């Protein structure tokens, strides 16, 4: 509404292509601090110009601009920016981890949730930042809606990271969930899943979510199926990892597979995966009749390659493994009994081992780390507990393999 400000915006829009990088960053920060909407012409032009220069941006300068002046309003605008959200700013995050603890108490839960969402999306395992989120949650948790708590907890499991205050935080979260479990069932089971992935099992909350009242409440909601999937996996985790639990369990009538096919991220990134290379090398090495690809195993884990190997190290054709060929398909009710499915495979075949070849691509790890994300780590724990031998094929090894012959040699060594 101010003519001078309007003229300034017009000048920036028409001339920003001639600005140096630092000026572009300053203008973006100013727009964020002023709270200009993302659809405004000024912000759109600045973001387009920034997107074209991302490879040339000096991340140190970006970090200095944001960290020296950032307040709640500016941080909210920055982390709401689609340009920022889509691109990994590791130096900025490292810099922010230094100063955010001093400013965290002045942030709103919404802003902190945006930060949590960003670090989870980009798998940034920055302990100081994650601990800041955990301390924020410890102090404010009782006043927060369970949907917000879910967003703040997710980065811990995503990055397979137990916050330094977990001894205080986890019991606090249990107490909060006891009070709020029924207010948002989907958020409740999401929080429980995060805690399970970190090997923490809140017994009293499990009593609630496996109760008939909770199930009845869930069945009347639009998200009934997804909650049943989560509850089914939680129930499986109880059986496998929390054997001392003696409370109610999920009624078998409601058990379903957590996943019936490959994860969305794996499908979306298939062209970047080493799975195709491994598949072709394995086909040439042992033959298609000796393995299953993309087999879903109860409680709903998609495996890359499933083979049977005897004590001498020979990969067996599936036709020579009667129990394997007679195993129930993963979608049948019988397959939903965890231990029975593996016992059926091994009871008469003590000399054979079911082996899962696990292609661990880059997105299965925290960024710049050899630590698997929490969901992948829990999957591996469960498959081992179910009796499968896991052979890990990390991308750091596969990226050194050149061509099919080298891939076959690599697989031969692994097997």
Q: For 11-53, write each residue's pLDDT tens digit.
A: 999 998 998 887 887 887 777 767 677 778 888 888 888 778 7
Can you give the pLDDT at residue 93? 87
Can you give the pLDDT at residue 263? 64
Check pLDDT > 80 for residue 330.
Answer: no
Token code pair at residue 127: 């302990």
Can you give the pLDDT at residue 59? 59
* 291-297, strands of its sheet edge to edge: 291-297, 301-310, 352-360, 389-394
Check pLDDT > 80 for residue 77.
Answer: no
Can you give the pLDDT at residue 70? 59
What is the C-alpha to C-alpha distance for residues 315 and 287, in angstroms, rounded to an integer?
Answer: 10
Check pLDDT > 70 for residue 343.
Answer: no
CA-based max dimension of the chain:
85
The angle at the Cα of 354, spanning 408 to 345, to the nearest 5 degrees, equals 150
Counted residue by residue, the chain has a size of 415
Average pLDDT over residues 94-98: 86
Q: How do the domains of the chain map onto residue ranges?
A: 265-414
Can you give the pLDDT at residue 60? 59
pTM: 0.81
Express each pLDDT in 270-326 by its tens digit: 788 999 999 999 999 999 999 999 999 989 999 999 999 988 888 999 888 765 443
What is the C-alpha to C-alpha distance for residues 269 and 364, in angstroms, rounded to an integer?
Answer: 11
Mean pLDDT lowest for which of 5-14, 87-96, 189-198, 231-240? 87-96
The answer to whether the Cα torsion of 88, 91, 97, 99 is positive or negative is negative
Check pLDDT > 60 for residue 218.
Answer: yes
Can you give the pLDDT at residue 348? 47
Can you give the pLDDT at residue 344? 54
Q: What backbone torsions phi and psi does residue 23 show, to the nearest 5 degrees?
A: -65, -40
Can you give the pLDDT at residue 325? 43
What is the C-alpha to C-alpha distance for residues 181 and 197, in angstroms, rounded to an integer?
Answer: 19
Mean pLDDT lowest for which of 96-100, 340-344, 385-389? 340-344
| Residues in CB range of 219: below 8 A, 6 or more apart | none
For 247, other C-beta atoms within 10 Å of its C-beta total 13
């Amino acid at each position: 509404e101010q003519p001078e400000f309007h003229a300034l915006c017009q000048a920036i829009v028409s001339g920003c292509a001639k600005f140096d990088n630092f000026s572009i960053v300053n203008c973006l920060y100013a727009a964020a601090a002023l709270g200009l909407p993302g659809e405004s012409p000024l912000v759109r032009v600045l973001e387009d110009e920034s997107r074209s220069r991302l490879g040339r941006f000096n991340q140190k300068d970006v970090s200095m601009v944001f960290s020296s002046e950032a307040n709640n309003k500016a941080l909210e605008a920055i982390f709401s920016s689609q340009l920022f959200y889509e691109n990994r700013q590791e130096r900025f995050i490292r810099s922010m981890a230094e100063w955010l603890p001093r400013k965290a108490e002045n942030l709103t839960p919404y802003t902190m949730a945006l930060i949590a969402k960003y670090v989870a999306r980009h798998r940034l395992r920055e302990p100081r930042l994650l601990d800041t989120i955990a301390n924020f949650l410890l102090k404010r948790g009782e006043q927060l809606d369970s949907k917000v708590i879910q967003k703040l907890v997710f980065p811990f499991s995503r990055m397979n990271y137990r916050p330094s205050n977990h001894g205080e935080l986890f019991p606090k979260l249990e107490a909060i969930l006891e009070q709020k479990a029924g207010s948002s069932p989907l958020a409740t089971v999401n929080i429980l899943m995060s805690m399970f992935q970190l090997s923490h099992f809140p017994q009293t909350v499990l009593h609630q979510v496996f109760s008939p009242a909770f199930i009845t409440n869930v069945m009347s909601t639009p998200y009934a199926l997804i909650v049943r999937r989560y509850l089914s996996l939680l129930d499986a985790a109880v059986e496998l990892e929390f054997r001392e639990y003696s409370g109610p369990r999920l009624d078998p009538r409601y058990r379903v597979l957590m996943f019936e096919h490959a994860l969305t991220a794996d499908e979306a990134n298939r062209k970047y995966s080493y799975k195709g290379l491994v598949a072709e090398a394995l086909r040439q090495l042992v033959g298609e009749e000796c393995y299953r690809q993309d087999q879903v195993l109860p409680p709903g884990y998609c495996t890359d390659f499933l083979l049977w190997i005897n004590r001498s190290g020979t990969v067996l054709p599936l036709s020579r493994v009667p129990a394997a060929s007679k195993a129930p398909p993963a979608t049948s009710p019988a397959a939903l009994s965890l231990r029975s499915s593996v016992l059926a495979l091994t009871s008469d075949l003590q000399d054979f081992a079911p082996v899962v070849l696990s292609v661990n691509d880059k997105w299965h790890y925290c960024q710049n780390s050899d630590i698997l994300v929490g969901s992948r780590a829990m999957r591996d724990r469960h498959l081992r507990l179910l009796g499968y031998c896991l052979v890990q094929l990390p991308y750091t090894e596969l990226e050194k393999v050149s061509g099919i012959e080298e891939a076959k040699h690599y697989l031969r060594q692994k097997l």
